[in-house]
Chain A
């Protein structure tokens, strides 16, 4: 909180991002997102990602509800949900979530229930991993901003 760790924090952020890219969790689309952030929308990335998480949370919950239903047969609805998820994931550059969603969607197109369930598990796992990582990233970012904002009287 004394504003001394700005560089260290920035290094941490870069390291974290690099590892996320390396793992394929994120792709260049995320950089696009960062490019869009400027003075007029200083929290753009954060806002978008937050909305993404809100929406995805809802979608995942719906998917789980749909799939948990014994009498379930509405693969079309699942497909719609997944389209949404694929779309928004690719928009923010969440590559791994997107990829597992695509796999999930192809299972749903084949009306393959076990495949769908497995797909859901994987998507949820990836989603939570992404969420954790993003959380960490934003925390670092916030700390960095706070640290960068500290000024000492000369």
Chain B
């Protein structure tokens, strides 16, 4: 009972803590459902219910029907019934509690009565003065008194008469009677109260009243909330016809809307969309929201946020939709404005950063240009010295070959000078400040020189062709330096990107109507294997076809950009046509003027740097040039040779040979051959030949030395490519067969000559060490061959005899110790069987030749790097004669040579 009381209290407290906004007289638990703070239950259904009584358009007759037929309607009703039942339960519970209270009171009253009677008995049986007046009895009495007070509300019976007299008893009886009366009266009052409260309970809990009250409250609430809300609510049936609608600001009358669809009511943008949206929701059966902009005659352009949910009947079938719309035009406007602002902001920021970047890049470029200009300037001064000296040299007495060499040297120098000037002037070209010169020049010579220069540095098996039409004048007026530059650029590009075949220049005169009185000169350069997809960016500065290309071919990427700008500056145009695997043709058309014939004789001196007229008198009319690759042909022929009577590598099938390529005829070319030899012999350089040949012409030999070094590092690559290139053309083969026979003889000669000098072989894989050792040997007056590993060393020893071998211990493929063992075994047995077993490829036919020489023990000196693996004991154990610890010094080398070379 106490427990129940407590829960009751708690429930009441709940209501106090969370005061509802409903009137206080209906503060039952069920009302908490409508508490704003505690939204619970089916709010939507309530709204629907209240629509019935809103002062707006509604189909009142249809609504109850709807309420009855739809699931939501029925759930609404069951909800109300539940509420009512709950309230009834509550009332019953309250009544029960009341009853219990009354019962308890009655029980108390009865208990009191009983006490009174007991007291009476007690008092009668045990008079008060029986115990002795001591403290304990007094205490006991007081305690009893207290106990009685607690039970019977301290209602003491006051008796004034003497104890145990008649009057006393009378008075006591009358007193008790009074108390009994009071008690009865109280009981009666309580019963009355009970019946009264029962009555009020009954009157309050009439279900209809309760419901009506609830509905009224809900309606009041909804009305309060919705009275100014810009909301349109409605219900549409399956065909999307309005069954009822709530609109605070109705612009249409009820009959205009009800029973019609959106499309029937409105016209304009968005209506169809909303209709479709509603249909979609109806079909999908899933409530959703969408923003739709209406542009109707009725209310102009407005954006509505529309919420549509499907409505089901009790059987779960869709019977229509509930629709709720709110105008959000302003919000949408604001939002869009915000988005636009944000977008603008982002764009501005991006532009800003882009601008910053550009500024940065521009600054960088400026700096780079500045640096380039300074650098170019620095290069220009010494270079002009070189060219000047060469020019002075050309005035001295020279033989024909020297003169030709010098000519090429000067024109190349000129070109470099010019290129540097161009780098300096590039900005000028771009801003159109570049000045063009108008001088007379001979196009044939220009073409020839360009090709000649290109051929001089050609490292591939390409044929360079110059083809000049007969009607091209001997002299034209133009800026020869620029034209040369363009041609050189195009040709060098062509060579760079062509792997085999022809590269050529064709020069012809075309009549171009747009050039009025001028004729136009076209020059085509052809090249192979231009990558087609790279064409759009060909003419961009510093742009290369791809990162791969840059790595593969190198270069600045400036060439074509300069060409194009130069051609355009001269009033011409540069175009390119290209097909993958078939080649590209760069064509440029330039207007030109013909030089008058009077000038011809005067100008001879002017062009003396380009062509020596005395030595090549017919050159001016020459229409066809061809330059064969020097290296390529040597590659294909193999054997070494000192080519004083070296055949020029020219096959002139179409026109008579009038021009002899100085480079081909020059003996200094043997430097190129020694590279070749190294390839033929499996990778070691015959240094002695390099030396002897360069004695002839120190300058040119020096010029080649750089190239030599480069070729060196690419040995293995060039070896394979040379084989490929030798298969290239069939035409060349005939002429070269004869050449190779010459060489065979010469090889024997050179071999004989060189036996007098001690031959040293260095077996070493580290390029640096090779370079250093070679240089040291040179200082000591010796030359040596190089092998890069044990296998190469064995091959070299097999090919020719050596007086001393310097052997690195740590090497790839075959290390020094093993190689030495194999060599020793060869010396003992006279055959290479051990080496062949070890996997070294040796040609047996040649072995027999050299076999005779291998009687002496070949001194092999180890070069160790002082690591544990390379102990001196091990060197000796493997048949080495001595060892030099690395790094090799001049002193050590000298001592070693003194000991082993006699």
Binding site for B on A (CB under 8 A): 1, 29, 32-33, 35-36, 38, 40-41, 44, 47-48, 51-52, 55, 80, 83-84, 86-88, 90-93, 146, 149
Beyond known contacts A80-B812, A88-B768: 11 more, CB 8 A cutoff: A35-B890, A41-B778, A51-B709, A86-B865, A87-B768, A87-B865, A88-B767, A90-B886, A91-B769, A91-B772, A92-B768
- What distance in Å separates the Cβ of B297 from its nearest Cβ neighbour in chain A? 72
Assess the A92–B865 pair: CB atoms within 8 A: no
- A1 surroundings in chain B (CB, below 8 A): 378
- What distance in Å separates the Cβ of A144 from its nearest Cβ neighbour in chain B? 15
Interface residues contributed by chain B, number (CB under 8 Å): 25
- B769 surroundings in chain A (CB, below 8 A): 87-88, 91
User: Which of B775, B867, B890 is the one whose CB lies under 8 Å from A44?
Assistant: B775
User: Is B41 an interface residue when CB atoms closer than 8 A count as contact?
Assistant: no
- What distance in Å separates the Cβ of A105 from its nearest Cβ neighbour in chain B? 8
Assess the A40–B778 pair: CB atoms within 8 A: yes
Assess the A91–B890 pair: CB atoms within 8 A: no
Residue among B713, B767, B890 with the most chain A CB within 10 A?
B767
11 example contacts (A-B, Cβ-Cβ < 8 A) are as follows: A32-B776, A32-B890, A35-B890, A36-B772, A47-B709, A48-B768, A51-B709, A51-B771, A84-B766, A87-B769, A88-B769
Residue among B378, B769, B775, B810 with the most chain A CB within 10 A?
B775
- What distance in Å separates the Cβ of A49 from its nearest Cβ neighbour in chain B? 9
Asked whether A51 and B768 contact (CB < 8 A) given A36-B779, A38-B779, A83-B810, the answer is yes
User: Is B765 an interface residue when CB atoms closer than 8 A count as contact?
Assistant: yes
A33 to B771, CA, bound (A): 10
- B778 surroundings in chain A (CB, below 8 A): 36, 40-41
Main secondary structure of the interface of B (DSSP, over half): helix
User: Is B538 an interface residue when CB atoms closer than 8 A count as contact?
Assistant: no
A29 to B771, CA, bound (A): 14
User: Is B887 an interface residue when CB atoms closer than 8 A count as contact?
Assistant: yes
- What distance in Å separates the Cβ of B389 from its nearest Cβ neighbour in chain A? 13
User: Is B301 an interface residue when CB atoms closer than 8 A count as contact?
Assistant: no
Chain B 667-691 interface 0/1 with A at a Cβ cutoff of 8 Å (1 = within): 0000000000000000000000000
A1 to B380, CA, bound (A): 13
- A44 surroundings in chain B (CB, below 8 A): 775
A29 to B890, CA, bound (A): 10
Whose C-beta in chain B lies nearest to the C-beta of A56?
B768
Whose C-beta in chain A lies nearest to the C-beta of B776?
A36
A51 to B772, CA, bound (A): 11
A86 to B867, CA, bound (A): 11
User: Is B456 an interface residue when CB atoms closer than 8 A count as contact?
Assistant: no
User: Which of A55, A80, A146 is the one whose CB lies under 8 Å from B768?
Assistant: A55
User: Is B888 an interface residue when CB atoms closer than 8 A count as contact?
Assistant: yes
Assess the B886–A87 pair: CB atoms within 8 A: yes
Assess the A41–B766 pair: CB atoms within 8 A: no
- What distance in Å separates the Cβ of A150 from its nearest Cβ neighbour in chain B? 10
- What distance in Å separates the Cβ of A147 from its nearest Cβ neighbour in chain B? 12
- What distance in Å separates the Cβ of B896 from its nearest Cβ neighbour in chain A? 15
- What distance in Å separates the Cβ of B375 from its nearest Cβ neighbour in chain A? 13
User: Which of A40, A52, A91, A146 is the one whose CB lies under 8 Å from B886?
Assistant: A91
- B766 surroundings in chain A (CB, below 8 A): 55, 84, 87-88, 91
- What distance in Å separates the Cβ of A89 from its nearest Cβ neighbour in chain B? 8
A126 to B496, CA, bound (A): 37
Q: Which of B804-822 contact A (CB under 8 A)?
A: 808, 810, 812
Whose C-beta in chain B lies nearest to the C-beta of A37?
B775
- What distance in Å separates the Cβ of B332 from its nearest Cβ neighbour in chain A? 55
Q: Which of B707-730 contact A (CB under 8 A)?
A: 709, 713
A125 to B340, CA, bound (A): 53
- What distance in Å separates the Cβ of B870 from its nearest Cβ neighbour in chain A? 10
Chain B 753-785 interface 0/1 with A at a Cβ cutoff of 8 Å (1 = within): 000000000000111110110011011000000
